Amino acid sequence: MRRRVIFRGKLLPYLLLAPQIAVTLVFFFWPAGQAIRQSVLREDPFGLSSEFVGLENFREVLSDPLYLNAVWNTAVFSTSVAALALGAALFLAVLADKSIRGAGVYKTLLIWPYAVAPAVAAVLWLFLFHPAIGLFGRALNAAGIAWDFKLNGAQAMLLVIFASAWKQVSYNFIFFLAGLQSIPRSVLEAAAIDGARPARRFWTVVFPLLSPTTFFLLVVNLTYAFFDTFGVIHALTGGGPGKATETLIYKVYVDGVQNLNLGGSSAQSVILMAIVIALTAVQFRYVERRVHY
């Protein structure tokens, strides 16, 4: 944590820190504090005065069926995105890790979707699955499946899950590939000499050795699904139809920005902060464990 050799200087370190700390205070700590403050206040309809209401906003939020709906949506959405993106990435990484011709080309062709913005990914998938003009949307309808994600909530959820996972696979792929490449060849060779067939080798040797990477990616994927997919949902379904794809983040946005319900939105923000802190703590413990490893 500390260097043995350092510079002397009384004012300089503070000057060096000043820009970062200024931005942090003004745009992070102050708003976060405001969120906590507003979460226990209620404004009158004209925004002229506010009164302290304690945990009333939280009680209201947590007993709101629409909020519970958002919790459920978030749970379904996040676990599906994480499972899908992790599974596909692991499968492709195992294949790409084999010493085959063109491994580098496959790698390049598989990692670029990382650069596509979530909202742009949404537009691409919208165009593919549009019930009237989309290649797949029309094909599904032609096959007798009534496909219209603008009317069918389950279909809308399916679409945002696929669009979100599609973009995240490349990130996971990069980490799985790095994890696979850091497994010593000699361990695999020893397993091969012990007579383990490839599939068995994977589940008994490779997968356990990858578990730190997998766990780390699980946390990252959940964080991604929670926060970074706002663009996908906003551009693709707008939370609909009938709030079928409204996640926690999306609801904060809707309640705060569109409905201007400050107290409720702030209470939701505070709940989300608690979730992020929990996720970060899990991640940090993991990092620490890996340091001692």
Partner 1 sequence: MRAPEGIAPAEEAAAAAASARRRRLLDRIWTHGWLILGVLVFALPIWITLVGSTHDAATIGRGEVPLLPGPHAAENYATAWTQGGGRFRAAGAAAMLWNSALMALLIAAGKIAISLLSAYAVVFFSFPGRMAFFWMIFITLMLPVEVRIIPTFQVMVDLSLINTMAGLVVPLVASATATLLFRQFFLTIPDEYVEAAKMDGAGPLRFFRDVVVPLSVTNIAALFVILFIYGWNQYLWPLLVVNDRSLETIVVGLSKMIGTGDAQNEWNTIMATAVMAMLPPVAVVVLMQRWFVRGLTETEK
Closest CA to 236 of 154, 157, 183: 157
- CB of residue 229 to partner 1, shortest distance in Å: 10
Q: Based on CB atoms, which residue is closest to partner 1, 198 or 208?
A: 198
Using alpha carbons, select from 123, 158, 167 the residue that is nearest to residue 244: 158
Q: What's the CA gap between 12 and 18, in Å, rounded?
A: 10
Judged by CB under 8 A, does residue 193 bind partner 1? no
User: CB-wise, 154 or 178, nearer to partner 1?
Assistant: 178
83 alpha carbon, distance to own chain's centre: 12
Report the site for partner 1 in 109-148 (rule: CB under 8 A).
109-128, 130, 132-135, 138
Nearest distance from C-beta of residue 257 to partner 1, angstroms: 7
Q: How many CA atoms lie within 13 A of 105 on its CB side?
A: 3
| Binding segment toward partner 1, per CB under 8 A, in 44-52, 53-61, 63-71, 99-107 | 99-107
183 binds partner 1 (CB under 8 A): no
Q: How far is it, in rounded angstroms, from Cα 70 to Cα 72?
A: 5
Count the neighbouring beta carbons within 10 Å of the beta carbon of residue 278.
10
* Site map (CB under 8 A) of partner 1, residues 203-242, x = contact: -------------x---x------x--xx--xx-------
Among 43, 50, 69, 150, binds partner 1 (CB under 8 A): 150
Do residues 75 and 225 lie in contact, with contact meaning Cβ atoms separated by under 8 Å?
Answer: no
Q: Using the rule CB under 8 A, is 29 a contact of partner 1?
A: yes
Stretch that binds partner 1, among 13-21, 65-73, 78-86, 183-191 (CB under 8 A): 13-21
**3-state secondary structure labels for all residues of 235-292:** HHCCCCCCCCCCCHHHHHHHHHHHCCCHHHHHHHHHHHHHHHHHHHHHHHHHHHHHHH
Tell me whether residue 118 or residue 239 sits nearer to partner 1 (CB atom).
Answer: 118
5 in contact with partner 1 (CB under 8 A):
yes
Cβ proximity to partner 1, 16 vs 154, nearer residue: 16
Number of Cβ within a 10 Å radius of residue 206: 19
Residue 6 sits in the site that holds partner 1 (CB under 8 A): yes
